[in-house]
Amino acid sequence: MNNRYGGEHIVFSDHARDYVPIRGYLPAEVEQAIREAEWHPAERNRLEVRKDFAYHSVWNRKFYETKQVRPIFVVESDIITVVTVYTYYF
C-alpha cells in the first residue's frame, strides 16, 4: 500500500501519549515514520508503518544500535490519529 500522507494533521490518542515514557519513542519519530514509510493494513481497519532510527544508546540497561517505531493509526478526513506505538530495540 502506498503512503497516502498528504499533509494531514497528526494527533495522538491519550493511550499513545501515556506510553511515550514506557516505550521510549519520540512523537517526532512517529510523525516522521507516518510521513516517510510505506503504509500497511493493520488489524481492526487500522494502518501501520515501521521505521528504523539510529539509536546508539541504552534502553532498560542494555545498549542498542537501532530503535524501530511502529505506529498504529487511523485516517479520518484530514486527521491521522495515532492509536498506539510499539517500539523495538535491536
Number of independent structural domains in the chain: 1
> Does any domain span residue 4?
no
> Does any domain span residue 23?
yes
Q: What is the structure's pLDDT at 36?
A: 96
pLDDT of 70 above 80: yes
What is the per-residue pLDDT across 12-60, written as a single tens digit (0 to 9) for each? 999 999 999 999 999 999 999 999 999 999 999 999 999 999 999 999 9
Q: Which is it for strands 9-12 and 40-42: parallel, antiparallel or unpaired?
A: unpaired
> Does any domain span residue 55?
yes
Q: What is the structure's pLDDT at 77?
A: 87
pTM for the predicted model, two decimal places: 0.90
Q: What residues make up the domain containing 24?
A: 9-89
> Does any domain span residue 49?
yes
pLDDT of 80 above 90: yes
Q: What is the structure's pLDDT at 38?
A: 97
Q: What is the structure's pLDDT at 71?
A: 98
Answer whether 86's CB lies under 8 Å from 23's CB. yes
Q: Which stretches does DSSP call E strand in the chain?
A: 9-12, 40-42, 46-48, 51-59, 62-76, 79-89
9 by Cβ neighbours in 10 Å (0-12 / 13-18 / 19+) ranks as exposed
Q: What is the CATH number of the domain that holds 39?
A: 3.30.2310
Answer whether 53's CB lies under 8 Å from 66's CB. yes
